[in-house]
Amino acid sequence: MTRKKRSQAPKTKPEGLFKREQQGKTGQADKKHGHKPKAHGKHKRNHTESYNERHGRRHNEGAQGRRAYPAAKDGRNPGLLLEGYFMTSRKGFGFVRTRNAEWPDIFIAERNVGDARQYDHVLVRLFTDIEEYRKRGRKIDKETRMEGTILQVLHHVDEVDLQAQDGADMQMVMWQLGAPGEFPQAVLDEAKAAPQTVSEEELFGRRDCRSLPLVTIDGVDSRDFDDAVFCTRLESGNYFLSVHIADVAHYVQMGSEMEQEAFARATSVYLPDRVLPMLPKELSNGICSLNAGVDRLTLACDMEFTPRGRLVDYDIYPAVINVAKRLDYDTVNAILLDHDRKLTAENRDMLPLLKPLAALQRILEKMRTRRGALNFDFPEVKVKMAENGRVAEVVKRHSRLAEKMIEQAMLAANETVAEHFRRKQIPFVYRVHEGPKEEKLFNLNAALLAFGYNELGDAEGNVSPREVQNLLKQAAGRPEDEFMQLMALRSMSHAEYSPDCSGHFGLAAKYYCHFTSPIRRYADLAVHRAIKHDLAQPDDSLKVRKMSAYMAAAAQQSSVRERLAEEIEREAVKMKCCLYMQEHLGEIFAGKVAGMTAGGVFVALENGIEGRVGVDDLPPDEYNYIAETMLMQGKAHCFTLGDVLWIQVARVDLLERRIDFVPAPADRIPAASRD
């Protein structure tokens, strides 16, 4: 196929954008997806379980990198051998945490501890008969009681190991929490066989968008690019937005080694010094990455918005593209916010795209705010690594215009795709989020009353997103601002994936999904499979039943693995923060009281690192902790949220990943800051 010359930004809507489907009756909308699998005879089958059984070879096991002990291969034999990290107690007994995220910690009686010490990497033999559990139809989960004995200490862990610059600190976090290990050889072999260029045959049935001047905008250090965007203002005054997402499903076929491993991992995990990818680099950084200047296959979502942010047209289709330019957030912010002359001159050809995209960002953000969407302004703690493997710097990172431009574009595509498939009643994976529940709402309202705010919710305990939004607006700029945001966030359930469309409370959206990151999230890959299935065989009822089972399994697995990935990433950042502060022992910093318990106050430094000042280290007094108002009240001293507190770094415990502060000596506090 002859390559088309790249054209200027169109003044009218590109051909092929069709009118939005009429909002008519959806038929059996109360039935799950509108497709109710029939039970044939006596053999009614749970499709979700059957799909997981077919993937049992790797489901929460293959991605763990478990050593191949003979008795541990399938997890069914008595005397199963497992590896894990030992956690001891003051009474002598302990627990071993294995790499299976869905299993409980294994109890180790004092007599079976042997020479193991806190956080040692150990080999355990289970006393619990796993096969017997399964015969009785009992599922192993976090509530199951398991007991075993430590056979061998595989590696003693101490702080000297963690201070080395060889990655031992991250290895410890990965092992403790069950991060994915190396890819199996079969997966690597399959990845190496994947093509690295787009062939002429692969273009059949795809819209040729190679003349559209698309751009990727990501972090400076990004290596894989899921999405590319184009935006322009039409003659009608409306905005045309085209979002192209890497067509990962084209290369990761159902039932393949890569697909099974991707299902087991379900998400990439981002650590300060490395990425644990869902897909091998041949795909994530290669043929699936929307690198500039090369042809790539995508699934696209074109949208047209009014100046008020109302969606009037959309189109979802497979395409081939050639990204015009790769930009990063820093460059775009420098051009649009800082008006950097040099960077503006170097990227002048991109201004016809960037300026409309920035304008549309503001429009869509205002539209979502009117709708009641919540904006939790928690800065990200970013760990910057030096080339020698040490932590160079820890900073707080807030989203600026460029990040918000891409965020709003992705939100728009995700909502559009979700609504399209909800109206078609096709099996799908939705991103859902529930509002505050009764018990958590009670705790939130208790805090609100203590701070002088009105309670949330009606007589039945129902809360709308707009009520929470108004609360956040009232608290903005006040000392309790972050605390109120945190309390409001904790009152809600964690967002998760589901085959049922129940809406997204935080976004105040009726329909939402994750469509835009299939390189790093399996849920997005499942959404892509739904799109391709609909385009190819929209009326195949047999495949609809299979798709229902697949989507339910993908949603469940993605939710479980996402929570684990978040915990791994959080603990990895804590470890790096501890290593960074260990180099600042004895130094003085100014911080603000960010939280407290009866045992002390938590102080956040300017860079986002938090440490604890124990109540025994506070100035001598008789303290009374008042939880409702987050107040540590003494006779002569009082500490509350937002108070500035000068601290000295006293202790850093790498094994516990804990930083202890003490109040700074008065003679070391800058004179201008003394009371």
Which long-range contacts does 377-383 make (Cβ < 8 Å, 24+ apart)? Answer: 377/485, 378/482, 378/485, 379/608, 381/573, 381/577, 381/607, 381/608, 381/609, 383/272, 383/573, 383/576, 383/577, 383/580
**Residues ≥6 apart with Cβ < 8 Å to 613:** 600, 601, 602, 603, 645, 647, 660, 661, 662, 663
Task: Give the contacts of 449 (CB within 8 A, at least 6 positions apart).
Answer: 455, 628
Nearest Cα neighbor of 296 from 309, 285, 281 is 285
Give me the residue label for tokens 């990200």: 380
What is the Cα–Cα distance from 512 to 510, expressed in whole angstroms?
7
Distance CA 16, CA 36 (A): 34
Three-state SS annotation for 237-297: CCEEEEEEEECHHHCCCCCCHHHHHHHHHCECEEECCEEECCCCHHHHHHHCCCCCCCEEE
Are 100 and 60 in contact by the 8 Å Cβ rule? The answer is: yes
Question: pLDDT for 535-544, tens place per residue?
Answer: 886 656 557 7
Q: Which amino acid is at 229?
A: V
Residue 496: beta bridge partners?
432
Cβ(165)–Cβ(390) under 8 Å? yes
Q: Using CA atoms, how far apart are residues 447 and 454, in angstroms rounded to an integer?
A: 10
pLDDT value of residue 612: 97
For residue 560, the model assigns a pLDDT of: 93
CA 371 to chain centre: 24
User: In this predicted structure, what is the pLDDT of residue 226?
Assistant: 95
Question: Whole-model pTM?
Answer: 0.84
Q: What is the pLDDT at residue 303?
A: 98
Please write down the HEC assignment for all residues of 565-607.
Answer: HHHHHHHHHHHHHHHHHHCCCCCEEEEEEEEEECCEEEEEECC
Distance between CA atoms of residues 283 and 224, nearest Å: 9
Give which of 472, 466, 474, 465 is closest to 487, Cα–Cα.
472
Residues in the chain: 675
Copy the structure tokens of residue 595. 């939280």
Which whole-number Å values give the CA distances from 472 to 137, 240, 493, in the listed order? 47, 32, 18
Residue ranges, the chain, pLDDT below 50:
1-9, 14-51, 53-54, 56-77
176's enclosing H/E stretch is helix 168-177
SS3 542: helix
Q: Are 264 and 178 in contact (CB under 8 A)?
A: no
Q: How far apart are CA 484 and CA 451, in angstroms?
A: 10
User: Residue 347: which of 358, 337, 361, 336 has the closest Cα?
Assistant: 336
What lies within 8 Å, CB to CB, of 336 at 6+ separation is 354, 355, 358, 401, 402
Residue 124 φ then ψ, to 5°: -120, 140
Which of 8, 419, 406 lies closest to 241, judged by CA? 406
Which domains are delineated in the chain? 66-177 (2.40.50.140), 185-434+495-576 (no CATH), 438-490 (no CATH), 584-673 (2.40.50.140)
pLDDT at position 69, please?
Answer: 39
pLDDT recorded at residue 12:
52
